[in-house]
A and B are shown apart, each in its own frame.
Chain A
């Protein structure tokens, strides 16, 4: 019977003798199945996510839900058995709107950290800006040609020169920083 240490040593060798060639097409197949929109919400669990899965934009999704609510309220007098789920969906919709700004900022933050890790000249404004202002500058990145790439709260990016950057930041400050 092998000793404890000997057994563990043998077990540590098992990864090398229990391996085989993995078809690279497997990775390609999996990548093709990545949904167009990855959502932290469980897909298919509620009306909102189903509508978002159809890749309708947020406003259209909101309009579709509001029309459904009005329809239910008008024709079913609010006494339908689905009344509870309509209410839940409305709450989810409100939560979703609230979360979308946060997720945009979180995506920007991740990008900022990645660029910082790569030694890029980046400045983060996300901690002190007014998140309600979708055109506020989330971060700036200095490019090799002296231009700046600015990322806004809504995720859009724009290349500007130093003068334009100062204007954007001044505008943001005037609007009021938190």
Chain B
């Protein structure tokens, strides 16, 4: 039993090394690709411990993704749980390790979309609760920078749901274009043009 626990800790430790600073599984080297493939393979085979690892890797990311899409704290927690619940139901759709990010985010994005559809009357929350670091004692440059960031945050929050999702997936969750397009359920070309529209809208708003 203890041996099994130690093995699990060791596996989690290995996976922790393969995640970048945002917690995404880094697919840049062969070993991490192998680990990602192995995780996807184990998930497809119904391995319970692989599901636990998936939760450890993604729960923070998906919660913050929901928050950044404009859901409040309580709704974000509920939607994160719902995303994982849906993930267990759709494990058969996970192709391989390379598709892991896109698959997980696509499920979460769909859960969010359904929520907005059901609660049309609810307004998207601004990035409520996310505070730019206090800069009262900092230099002028830093104050200006923080003001710009504050403006940008509000501008992103004012974007339409689709454009906001585009910015959140690519710039804030830091997914690649391919992964973001997969998560949004659209072609890469469509995603790129949506991204350009979002950037143009932001440029207009942030002066």
Chain B contributes a number of interface residues (CB within 8 A of A) equal to 59
The CA-CA distance from A107 to B132 in the complex, in Å, is 46
CB of A56 within 8 Å of the partner chain:
no
Q: Out of A7, A8, A34, A111, which one reaches B48, CB within 8 Å?
A: A34
Q: Which chain B residues border A81 with CB–CB below 8 Å? A: none
A1 to B151, CA, bound (A): 12
In the complex, what residues of B have CB within 8 A of residue A41's CB? Answer: 92
Produce 1/0 per residue, B178-195, CB < 8 A to A: 000000000000000000
- Does B26 sit within 8 A of A, measured CB to CB? no
Within the assembled complex, what's the spacing in Å between the Cα atoms of A107 and B127?
A: 42
Complex Cα distance A18/B76, Å? Answer: 14
Interface of B is mostly: helix
Does A107 contact B47, Cβ atoms closer than 8 Å?
yes
Known: A19-B64, A30-B84, A42-B89. A117 touches B38 (CB 8 A): yes
CB contact between B91 and one of A1, A7, A39 (< 8 Å): that residue: A39
A117-B34 in contact (CB<8A): yes
Residue interface bits B46-76, CB-to-A below 8 A is 1, else 0: 1110011001100110011001100000000
What is the interface size of chain A, counting residues whose CB is below 8 A from a CB of the partner?
44
Q: Which residues of B contact A (CB under 8 A)?
A: 10-11, 14, 22, 31, 34-35, 37-38, 41-48, 51-52, 55-56, 59-60, 63-64, 67-68, 77, 80-81, 84-85, 88-92, 127, 129-133, 148-149, 152-153, 156, 167, 171-174, 199, 202-204, 206-207
- The answer to whether residues A31 and B91 also contact, given A15-B22, A40-B46 and a CB cut-off of 8 A, is no
Give bound CA distance, A13 to B148, whole Å: 11
Is A18 touching B130 in the complex (CB atoms < 8 A)? yes
A63 at the interface (CB under 8 A from B): no
Interfacial residues of chain A within 99-151, with CB under 8 A of chain B in the complex = 103-104, 106-107, 109-111, 113-114, 117-118
Task: Report A-chain residues with C-beta under 8 Å of the C-beta of B11.
Answer: 114
Q: What is the interface of chain A, defined by CB distance below 8 A to chain B?
A: 1-2, 4, 7-8, 10-15, 17-20, 22-23, 26-27, 29-31, 33-43, 103-104, 106-107, 109-111, 113-114, 117-118
Question: In the complex, are the beta carbons of A31 and B60 less than 8 A apart?
Answer: no
